[in-house]
Structures are given as structure tokens and as C-alpha cells.
């Protein structure tokens, strides 16, 4: 059976960066390259897999409890009584950094010190900056070469699910109910499950493997919105501009300064929300800005949206109607509302981690997952650790042992469903 490390290294070699400017689904054709690879591997395992035109892969590992029942095993469980569960990961990588031509570096028996990623760029993983690295002394760590992201988010999750699937197919003595698998595109740009059919998937509940460090277990995420802003300025020769020129870039700066300066990602943690400027391009004549708006508390989230809209209204009152155009879209909501009433699926994950010798770390996600949107569509979907750190950038890394533990946790969850 192939190791999770081997699968992971193969998957990160495939370029799958999603494109936020695309109007297609999936947003980038290259995402099909990995989806097709995964479908081929599943078929070779004996698992039927389909890929939709929009790039959603779904597969089913059939229950093997009937054979146990026929053999007279006292521990056999009727397939009708065992819930169908699912495991989900996404194939795309974030557009925040290059995901093309990834060249992973493998550090065996990590010594607990700084890791040089790229000598020419003088780029390193610093223990001072990332003290959590010390916990992985003696482990095998996979890093970038300092020129791209690594793709742990979420190809570690993909590899872990694929390993669990392969184990089920190769080890007939491992009894399990029906297990559903899904790999989605475009999670990083908020479109991962736009074309995901919960009905076709057919699971009663599921888990995304899209979390960070070993032990992370999350069922609470941000409420999220995007804000796209267009500013129409008025360009006049600077020598004759008094009382006439409207500098779109300066209006944009004014908008930024009207937002609470301490409510930005770099100043917040835990349950604290924020406004995050992700893009700002412009000239005197026109400018475009993009924000993401986040908060765990739904009332505070709604207040943030109202604040952004009021700022737009104030600027239009000051500079003229239509100078600032704003489009705010809700992206996803906090799944806590859906998952908490079915807390047994969280308890199941906690027990599965303890069985694997992993200490559960329950905390809110300072982000979102496909599971958030799926939860509101009737598929409760907490998030499990995939093992990586420093997602979306050149400092990303993952301990191999963390991925191995994630595979073990998935197998334990599958076993625990027989008792539910």
C-alpha cells in the first residue's frame, strides 16, 4: 500500500491554482488534471468514481458488512443501521502564491532548528517566528523551496482520504459501512460546493479534511462576505484641478481609513472578526478594491456589512452620487448552528483522535470550509486537521507524521460509525 507521503508528493506536482476572475466552473481547467488522476487511482482500487462537468468528483466505497454477516460474526451490523458517512477535500490551491512547478523539500529527522528554504532568496522557516515547529523535532517535514506554496491546503487532505480508501479496499478484514468520498474544485475562491449535490452524495453526515495542525477539530467558522468596490474619479490636469479633481485612489484610501484600524487580520484572533483589503488597483480616474468581511457572531457580521455600506453612502454624499459603487455578497455562514444540535459527530471525531493518540484541539476556524456551506444544505460537516502549517504561502510546511495520524483518525471514525 502506498504511503500518504508518496500520494501527497504526487498530488502537489499537479498545478491546480483556482482563478478568482474566472466565470467558469471549475475556474481553472488544470484542476481537472488532478481530478482525473484521482478518479483513475480510485478505479484501480476498485472504487467507482464520477466527475461532473463542473469538476466535483464523487465516489463510493461500498459497505463490506454483508460478508461478515454471512460468516456468522457476532459483531456484524446490518448495513441499514450503519450511517453512510463522507469525507471531503478540495483539489485547488490558493491564488495567493504560485502553485505551479512546486518543488518540495523533505527534511528527515528534523533537528528543531531554523529550516533554510532558499539560500538565494535568504528565506527560512524561523523557529522564533513559528515556535510550534519545535514540537516536530525528530519528525519528517515537507517544505517548499521558497518559490511557491506547498499545496498542503488541501492536497494533504486529499492524500489522507485516498490512503483511507485504499486501506479499506485492500484490508477486507476492516469492516465498515458505506463511505462516500468527494473532491471539490475552487474552495479557495469560495465556489467549492456551488455545484455539489448533497442528494447525489448520499451521506448522512461528513467531515472535511481541511484543517491545520495535528489535533485541530472545528465545527465553528466565520460568517463571510466579499465586497467589490469600484470608484469613479474625475481626472483633471493637476494645474487646474482645484475644486474639480476627484482622485479615485485617494477616495479608496479614505474608505480604508474609515474602517476600524484594529479590526484587520493582523490585529485579531480567536472569535474576533475583521475587514481585510485583498486587492487595490487604480489611477486618478478609477480604482477597484476588494475586501473580505468576517465574523463568527452573526449580529456582529451583519453590523460589519452595514458599516461598509454606510461608508459608501457617506463618500457618495461627499463626492457625488455614483462615485463609489459597492457590491457585497454573502459567501457562507457559521456552521455551528447546524452542527451543534448533532454534536455526536463531533464527539465521534474526538474519540477517533484519542484512539489515535492525538489530543483534540477544538477551536473556531478563522476561515471557512466547503463543510460550512454543505452544513446549511443538510449535510453536517465538521472540519478535521490535515496537518499543515502556514497555508497559502512560501512558508507552508507539513509533518509527514501528522498526515499519517489523520489517516488513522479517518479509519477510526469509520470504525466508530458501526457503534453509532
Give the catalytic positions in this structure.
92, 187
Q: Specify whether the CB–CB gap between 396 and 150 falls below 8 A.
A: yes
Alpha helices in 171-268 (DSSP H): 198-201, 248-257
What is the SS3 assignment for 141?
strand
* DSSP 3-state of 279: strand
Written as nine digits, the cell of 261 is 484600524
Alpha carbons within 13 A on the beta-carbon side of 319: 24
Closest CA to 167 of 410, 403, 420, 396: 410
Q: Is 29 helix (H, G, I), strand (E, B) or coil?
A: coil
Separation CA 166–CA 117 (nearest Å): 33
Pairing between β-strand 85-90 and β-strand 205-211 as defined by DSSP bridges: parallel
Three-class SS of residue 353?
A: helix
* CA gap 128, 130 in Å, rounded: 6
To the nearest 10°, report the CA torsion of 304, 305, 307, 312: 150
Compute CA distances 245 → 52, 57, 288, 408, whole Å: 51, 53, 18, 63
- Contact indicator for 38, 185 with CB cutoff of 8 Å: no
Q: Looking up cell 479557495, which residue turns up?
A: 188
In angstroms, the CA 393 to CA 94 distance is 9
- Alpha carbon distance, N-terminus to C-terminus of the chain: 29
Euclidean distance between CA atoms 280 and 278, whole angstroms: 7
Identify which of 372, 365, 290, 366 has the alpha carbon closest to the alpha carbon of residue 95: 290
Amino acid at each position: 500500500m502506498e504511503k500518504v507521503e508518496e500520494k501527497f508528493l504526487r498530488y502537489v506536482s499537479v498545478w491546480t491554482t483556482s482563478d478568482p476572475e474566472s466565470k467558469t466552473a471549475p475556474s481553472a481547467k488544470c484542476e481537472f488534471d488532478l481530478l482525473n488522476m484521482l478518479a483513475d487511482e480510485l478505479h484501480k482500487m476498485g472504487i467507482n468514481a464520477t466527475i461532473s462537468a463542473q469538476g466535483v468528483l464523487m465516489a463510493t466505497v461500498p459497505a463490506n458488512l454483508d460478508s461478515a454477516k454471512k460468516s456468522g460474526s457476532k459483531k456484524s451490523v446490518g448495513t441499514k443501521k450503519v450511517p453512510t458517512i463522507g469525507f471531503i477535500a478540495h483539489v485547488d490551491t490558493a491564488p495567493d502564491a504560485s502553485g505551479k512547478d512546486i518543488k518540495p523539500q523533505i527534511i528527515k529527522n528534523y533537528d528543531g532548528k531554523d529550516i533554510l528554504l532558499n539560500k538565494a532568496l535568504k528565506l527560512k522557516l524561523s523557529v522564533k517566528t513559528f515556535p510550534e515547529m519545535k514540537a516536530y523535532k525528530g519528525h519528517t517535514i515537507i517544505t517548499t523551496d521558497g518559490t511557491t506554496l506547498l499545496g498542503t491546503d488541501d492536497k494533504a487532505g486529499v492524500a489522507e482520504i485516498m490512503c483511507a480508501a485504499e486501506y479499506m479496499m485492500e484490508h477486507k478484514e476492516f469492516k465498515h459501512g458505506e463511505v462516500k468520498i468527494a473532491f471539490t474544485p475552487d474552495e479557495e475562491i469560495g465556489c467549492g460546493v456551488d455545484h455539489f449535490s448533497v442528494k447525489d452524495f448520499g451521506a448522512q453526515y461528513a467531515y472535511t479534511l481541511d484543517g491545520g495542525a495535528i489535533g485541530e477539530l472545528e465545527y465553528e467558522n466565520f460568517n463571510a462576505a466579499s465586497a467589490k468596490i469600484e470608484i469613479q474619479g474625475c481626472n483633471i490636469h493637476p494645474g487646474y484641478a482645484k475644486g474639480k479633481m476627484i482622485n479615485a485612489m485617494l477616495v479608496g484610501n479614505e474608505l480604508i481609513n474609515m474602517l476600524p484600524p484594529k479590526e484587520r487580520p493582523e490585529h485579531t484572533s480567536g472569535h474576533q472578526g475583521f475587514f481585510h483589503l485583498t486587492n487595490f488597483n487604480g489611477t486618478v480616474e478609477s480604482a477597484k478594491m476588494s475586501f473580505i468581511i468576517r465574523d463568527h457572531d452573526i449580529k456582529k457580521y451583519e453590523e460589519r456589512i452595514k458599516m461598509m455600506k454606510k461608508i459608501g453612502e457617506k463618500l457618495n454624499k461627499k463626492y457625488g452620487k455614483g462615485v463609489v459603487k459597492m457590491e457585497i455578497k454573502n459567501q457562507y455562514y457559521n456552521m455551528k448552528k447546524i452542527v451543534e444540535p448533532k454534536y455526536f459527530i463531533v464527539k465521534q471525531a474526538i474519540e477517533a483522535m484519542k484512539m489515535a493518540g492525538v489530543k483534540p484541539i477544538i477551536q473556531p476556524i478563522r476561515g471557512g470550509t466547503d463543510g460550512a456551506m454543505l452544513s446549511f444544505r443538510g449535510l453536517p460537516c465538521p472540519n478535521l486537521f490535515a496537518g499543515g502549517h502556514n497555508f497559502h504561502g512560501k512558508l507552508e510546511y507539513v509533518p509527514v507524521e501528522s498526515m499519517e495520524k489523520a489517516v488513522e483518525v479517518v479509519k477510526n471514525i469509520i470504525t466508530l460509525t458501526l457503534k453509532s
